[in-house]
């Protein structure tokens, strides 16, 4: 039985009229909630608040950068999804929340009241104050700077950069700051995008001595080989602290030339949460129980990158946010009905299909990696490269199916 089936059963306990559920943010975890709200509209008023009417599926973003997809192919129209489900859509950003009065303050000064609120507003790239200032402006001298999230900002700045480079071809240095799995995918995508430009150099700036230092060495070694195969230069021990015209400045004083700098650094919690009165973890993310309810306020739920599940800590990755969606929808319904929410235990290890730039990918799970450079010792180059292409096709089907699921009529 699916979550939607359970949520639409006629024998569910009746809900008092005029209960108001507010969904803050249109992230991956909220998509199943919006879809499920179609069956709630007779008894619950649901409002979705998001600064954007479109949300990007993060798994396809490297493919957009590489040129395998048009930008619109990875976008889900959450305003349309909300309309089909009878959910009111407000295009705005939240800037404050009072969990005692149960009110939300929006950027335009509007105040919304709620009975239950669910927060899925994502996170922002971690950056020093000096670097954050450069990100805000988008430039430092002639250097273009963009965070990998939010997607509209990334694509706007990337598109302008590529148009400019196409109009005035010249040697260029492209840097990706942050060598987690997302940063590796972005660097490889850039290298593929610029493959016809012999004078373009792509660098991946890692704050550590090796890639994916938290994973077994074989995982990092295979990804380092993938970077070498596709022309991505790895710069080790480069913790970027600031920018100056035409260069990024590392903590050790190194200046790394850059015409384009993309930030794929660790996540930082939205600043306004600090004054919300909600219980937060030491990094400033919303502390939630295994039910995805706030540990301090039962009327507040949170999921995705902005939340920290205290009893089940997991990496901030899209796969975990996606899988929080159905249990979040079920628990929001229970809360609206006055019932106790149910505990949700995420899987300990999730399969990661990481794109390598071309239409090829590697699969990573439980400290193991296969496909491309990771399998050459066992399969040889021809078979391992064929496996990588097959993994990309599998990833492509999964990603497209996710977008289509929430984009249909």
pLDDT in tens, 33-81: 999 999 998 889 999 999 999 999 999 999 999 999 999 999 999 999 9
Q: Where are the beta strands (DSSP E) in 295-392?
A: 300-302, 307-309, 352-355, 361-365, 368-370
pLDDT, position 7: 47
Check whether 246 has a pLDDT greater than 80.
yes
Check whether 208 has a pLDDT greater than 50.
yes
- What mean pLDDT, rounded, does the chain reach? 90
Check whether 175 has a pLDDT greater than 90.
yes
Domain-ending residue, one of 203, 236, 265: 265
Give the Cβ contact number of residue 162 at 10 Å. Answer: 15
pLDDT in tens, 336-368: 999 999 998 877 777 889 999 999 999 998 889
**Tokens 């439980």 belong to residue:** 366
Average pLDDT over residues 381-390: 94
281 shares a domain with 255: no
276 shares a domain with 213: no
Tokens of 76: 């889900």
Report the C-alpha gap between 28 and 43 in whole angstroms.
Answer: 25
Nearest to 179 by CA among 150, 221, 207, 215: 207
pLDDT, position 209: 82
Q: For residue 159, what are the contacts with CB-CB under 8 A and spacing of at least 6?
A: none
- In the chain, the number of structural domains is 3
In a domain, 345, yes or no: no
Nearest to 268 by CA among 123, 162, 368, 398: 123
pLDDT, position 53: 95
177 shares a domain with 60: no
285 shares a domain with 212: no
Tokens of 91: 């295009």
Q: For residue 168, what are the contacts with CB-CB under 8 A and spacing of at least 6?
A: none
Average pLDDT over residues 380-400: 95
Tokens of 80: 């349309």
pLDDT, position 341: 94
Check whether 164 has a pLDDT greater than 90.
no
Check whether 11 has a pLDDT greater than 50.
no
**Reported confidence tier of residue 333, pLDDT bands at 50, 70, 90:** very high
Give the Cβ contact number of residue 12 at 10 Å. Answer: 16
Angle at 206 between CA 135 and CA 238, to 5 degrees: 75
214 shares a domain with 312: no
pLDDT, position 318: 66
pLDDT, position 89: 97
Average pLDDT over residues 367-394: 92
State how far the alpha carbon of 380 is from the alpha carbons of 10, 373, 386, in Å.
57, 9, 10
pLDDT, position 377: 86
In a domain, 342, yes or no: no
Tokens of 195: 């493959």
Average pLDDT over residues 394-408: 93
134 shares a domain with 114: no
CATH number for the domain spanning 116: value is 3.50.50.60
Nearest to 174 by CA among 157, 149, 152: 157
79 shares a domain with 176: no
Average pLDDT over residues 210-219: 84
Domain-ending residue, one of 215, 244, 265: 265
276 shares a domain with 221: no
Check whether 2 has a pLDDT greater than 60.
no
- DSSP label at residue 156: H
205 shares a domain with 81: no
| Boundaries of domain holding 149 | 125-265
Q: Which helix (H) or strand (E) holds 214?
A: none
Interhelix angle 181-193/217-229, nearest 10 degrees? 10
pLDDT, position 5: 52
Rounded to the nearest 5 percent, the helix, strand and coil shares of the chain are 35, 25, 40
Average pLDDT over residues 120-129: 84
136 shares a domain with 260: yes
Average pLDDT over residues 240-268: 92
Report the C-alpha gap between 289 and 136 in whole angstroms.
Answer: 34
129 shares a domain with 119: no
Check whether 144 has a pLDDT greater than 90.
yes
68 shares a domain with 16: yes
**Reported confidence tier of residue 10, pLDDT bands at 50, 70, 90:** very low
């Amino acid at each position: 039985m699916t979550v939607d089936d359970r949520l639409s059963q006629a024998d569910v306990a009746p809900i008092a009229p005029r209960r108001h559920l507010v969904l803050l943010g249109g992230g991956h975890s909220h998509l199943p909630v919006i879809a499920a709200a179609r069956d709630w509209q007779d008894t619950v008023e649901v409002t979705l608040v998001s600064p954007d009417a479109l949300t990007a599926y993060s798994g396809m973003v490297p493919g957009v950068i590489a040129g395998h997809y048009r930008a619109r192919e990875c976008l889900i129209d959450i305003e349309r999804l909300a309309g089909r489900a009878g959910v009111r859509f407000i295009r705005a950003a939240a800037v404050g929340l009072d969990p005692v009065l149960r009110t939300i303050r929006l950027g335009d000064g509007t105040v919304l009241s709620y009975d239950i609120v669910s927060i899925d507003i994502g996170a922002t790239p971690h950056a020093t104050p000096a670097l954050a200032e450069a990100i805000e402006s988008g430039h430092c001298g002639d250097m273009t700077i963009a965070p990998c999230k939010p997607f509209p900002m990334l694509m706007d700045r990337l598109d302008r950069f590529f148009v400019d480079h196409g109009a005035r071809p010249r040697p260029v240095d492209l840097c990706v700051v942050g060598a987690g799995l997302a940063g590796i995918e972005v660097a490889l995508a850039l290298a593929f995008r610029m493959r016809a430009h012999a004078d373009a150099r792509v660098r991946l700036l890692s704050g550590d001595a090796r890639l994916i230092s938290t994973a077994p060495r074989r995982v990092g070694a295979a990804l380092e080989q993938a970077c070498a195969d596709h022309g991505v230069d790895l710069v080790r021990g480069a913790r970027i602290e600031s920018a100056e015209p035409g260069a990024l400045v590392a903590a050790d004083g190194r200046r790394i030339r850059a015409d384009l700098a993309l930030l794929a650094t660790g996540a930082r919690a939205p600043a306004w949460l600090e004054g919300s009165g909600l219980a937060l973890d030491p990094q400033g993310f919303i502390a939630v129980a295994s039910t995805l309810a706030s540990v301090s306020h039962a009327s507040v739920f949170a999921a995705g990158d902005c939340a920290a599940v205290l009893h089940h800590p997991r990496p901030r990755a899209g796969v975990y946010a996606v899988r929080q969606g159905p249990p979040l929808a079920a628990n929001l319904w229970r809360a609206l009905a006055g019932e106790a929410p149910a505990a949700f235990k995420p899987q300990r290890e999730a399969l990661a299909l990481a794109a390598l730039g071309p239409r090829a990918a590697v699969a990573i799970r439980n400290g193991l990696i296969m496909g491309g450079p990771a399998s050459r010792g066992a399969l040889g180059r021809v078979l391992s490269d064929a496996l990588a292409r097959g993994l990309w096709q599998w990833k492509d089907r999964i990603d497209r199916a996710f977008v289509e699921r929430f984009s249909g009529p």
